[in-house]
Amino acid sequence: MGYSLSWIAVKGRSSKELQQVLGFRSTGRHGNYGEHTLVGRQLRDGWHLLIANTCDDRIAQNTTLAHLSKGCQAVACSIEEHVMFSSCVFWNEGKKVWSVKHRGDRGVFDVVKSGNVPANYSLLKSELIEMQRSEGDENAGVDHVFELPLQLAKQLVGFKHDEELSGSYEILELNYLQRASRVVAASRAWLYLAGVLVGVTVLLSLVAVVVRGSFGWIIRLAKSLLP
């Protein structure tokens, strides 16, 4: 099984500020990421790390990062190893500075970048592509370019999800408002799907009525034409 995670690292805000902005609290208990909804820890050079156990968690969404990075810096990664998707984005003072993502389901050489990427971006990308080509391109059985966004993030904050880091991760608990808003957001998707299914069912019922009516009319017409 592969990882499905979102993580952010913030520099320039205290742990208490992060709790207030993102709506969570400390529990005093410790555990591994991927096993709990949200965990966190301190990294080097003043970075605070938060890791959520889904690839598309709201902590790594643009609206959250735009607000969270005001007056500070923020790095966010999304990882879905089941389809070899990885992304990294860097925000500073409320603005997105650069982003890089790899979509493995679109090919092992897929890379999309925007903004003023780090100076060693091109070199790192070339090295990973060369590794991929040397092992058989699309048939290599491994996706080296998947590492590109993750390596860029690591060089900023010193964390990579598949590399061991000394120290423990604290289990964090979302407050009531955060839990409720997430339930509502999840419900919207299900309600939309239910609405689509109801609409399709009604449409099929109408088609069935029309078809039955048409057959009945054809049969009556045929009978009227027979001697």
Residue range(s) defining the domain that contains residue 186: 176-227
Q: Do 7 and 76 contact (CB within 8 A), yes or no?
A: yes
Spatial CA neighbour of 15 closest among 63, 62, 50, 66: 50
Select from 157, 174, 191 the last residue of a domain.
174
- Looking at the structure, tell me whether residues 84 and 187 fall in a common domain: no
pLDDT tens for 138-157 read 888 899 999 999 999 999 99
Tokens read off for 89: 């984005």
Q: Do 205 and 156 fall into the same domain?
A: no
CB of 94 within 8 A of CB of 67? Answer: yes
In tens, the pLDDT along 65-79 reads 999 999 999 999 999
Element (H, E) at 195: helix 176-225
For the residues 35-47, what does the mean pLDDT come to? Answer: 94
Same domain, 200 and 157: no
Is the predicted pLDDT of residue 114 greater than 80, yes or no? yes
Q: Clarify whether residues 24 and 107 are in a common domain.
A: yes
100, 115: one domain: yes
Domains of the chain: total: 2
pLDDT at 225: 61
Q: Answer with the residue of higher pLDDT: 225 or 168.
A: 168
Are 27 and 97 in the same domain?
yes
- Are 109 and 210 in a shared domain? no
Question: pTM higher than 0.85, yes or no?
Answer: no
Q: H helices then E strands: how many in the chain?
A: 5, 9
- The CATH number assigned to the domain holding 97 equals 3.30.70.1270
Return the exposure string of 5-18: e unless at least 16 CB atoms fall within 10 Å of the residue's CB, then b.
bbbbbbbbbeeeeb
172: which strand partners? Answer: 26
Residue type, 172: L
